[in-house]
């Protein structure tokens, strides 16, 4: 007896799959282009707001096109955020027909928490971690030293420190799903705890500015999220066992 996935693959040839994928990608790209064009006119106030939140008195541009591409970078990030729900919907609409009923339920339930965790993690990085690191970096300046940041460097600094928090905040959700379905055991988190500590500091050393305090401030939240994932995995595993017993 064929599974539902095999039936769908048999009913829908590969060419039709590719045609549907192309259609959905064009929808996402079209909306992204629309947001990008319209959003460019609103990117300047957002850029000013990001700059005003910092302790920097002014930013320099050292290239003819740097100010323009700074606005483009802000516009790109805003457009990506705006189109993300549509991208998520089109992705789900493409893969859900080939999933079982249980898999569809699991994916549908995880969409909103996944987006909330990513947005929350990014907000933590932007509103908490970026100001702390920026303050620490500026504290090294003194008499005769004028901090002269370029617009491009500052935007890369903000984005590179904010987005990793959003991605790492997804770990508890991933651990919950895998533990609930018995794909991993919570003991894995205990077994690899020492490597998690090392990994948190290595990741912080790569992403954070090259000073001990900034790396410590970034490594601690990463490790705490790892421990939170362990607790979530324990709860999810127990609920998965109760469901099986029923």
Tell which residue, 129, 122, 153, has the closest CA to residue 56: 153
What mean pLDDT is predicted for residues 69-82?
A: 89
Sign of CA dihedral 52, 53, 55, 59: negative
Split at pLDDT 50, 70, 90, the class of 243 is low
**Residue 72 vs residues 18, 30, 37, 135, 155: alpha-carbon distances, Å:** 31, 17, 10, 26, 11
Does the pLDDT of residue 138 top 70, yes or no?
yes
Q: Residues near 85 by Cβ (< 8 Å), separated by ≥ 6?
A: 115
Query: What does the DSSP 8-state code read for residue 54?
Result: S
C-alpha to C-alpha distance for 158 and 130, rounded to whole angstroms: 6
Distance between CA atoms of 227 and 172, rounded to whole angstroms? 9
According to the 3-state scheme, what is the secondary structure of 102-149? HHHHHHHHHHHHHHHHHHHHHHHHHHHHHHHHHHHHHHCCCCCCCCCC
Q: Which of 53, 74, 201 is nearest to 134 (CA)?
A: 53
**Residue 245 pLDDT > 60:** no
| SS3 at position 74 | helix
- 8 or 235, which is more confident? 235
Q: Where are the domains of the chain?
A: 4-245
pLDDT at 9 over 50: no
Question: Mean pLDDT across the chain, nearest whole number?
Answer: 81
Under 8 Å between Cβ of 161 and 122: no
- Is 0.75 surpassed by the pTM of this model? no
How confident is the model at residue 76, as a pLDDT? Answer: 92
Query: Residue 192: pLDDT above 70?
Result: yes
Q: pLDDT over 70 for what percent of the chain?
A: 85
Q: What is the pLDDT of residues 198-221, one digit of tens each?
A: 998 888 888 776 677 778 888 888
Is 10 a residue whose pLDDT tops 70? no
| Beta pairing partners, 60 | 150
Select from 215, 59, 64 the least CA-distant residue to 147: 59
Does the structure show a pLDDT above 50 at 225? yes
Return the bridge partners of 150, or none: 60
65: phi then psi, degrees, rounded to nearest 5: -100, 5
Query: Stretch 177-192: mean pLDDT, rounded?
Result: 83
């Amino acid at each position: 007896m064929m599974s539902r996935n095999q039936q769908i693959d048999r009913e829908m040839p590969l060419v039709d799959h590719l045609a549907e994928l192309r259609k959905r990608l064009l929808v996402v790209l079209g909306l992204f282009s629309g947001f990008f064009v319209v959003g460019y006119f609103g990117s300047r106030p957002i850029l000013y707001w990001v700059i005003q939140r910092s302790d920097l008195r002014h930013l320099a541009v050292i290239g003819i096109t740097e100010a323009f591409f700074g606005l483009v970078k802000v516009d790109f990030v805003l457009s990506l955020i705006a189109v993300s729900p549509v991208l998520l919907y089109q992705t789900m609409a493409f893969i859900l027909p080939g999933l079982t009923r249980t898999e569809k339920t699991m994916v549908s339930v995880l969409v909103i928490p996944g987006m909330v965790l990513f947005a929350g993690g990014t907000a933590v990085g932007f509103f908490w971690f970026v100001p702390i690191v920026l303050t620490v970096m500026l504290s090294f300046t003194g008499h005769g030293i004028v901090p002269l940041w370029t617009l491009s460097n500052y935007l890369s600094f903000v984005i590179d420190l904010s987005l990793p928090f959003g991605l790492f905040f997804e770990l508890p959700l991933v651990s919950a799903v895998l533990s609930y379905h018995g794909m991993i055991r919570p003991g894995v988190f205990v077994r690899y705890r020492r490597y998690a500590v090392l990994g948190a500091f290595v990741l912080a050393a790569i992403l954070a500015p090259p000073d001990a305090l900034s790396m410590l401030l970034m490594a601690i939240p990463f490790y705490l999220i790892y421990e939170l994932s362990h607790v979530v995995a324990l709860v999810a595993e127990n609920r998965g066992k109760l469901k099986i017993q029923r």
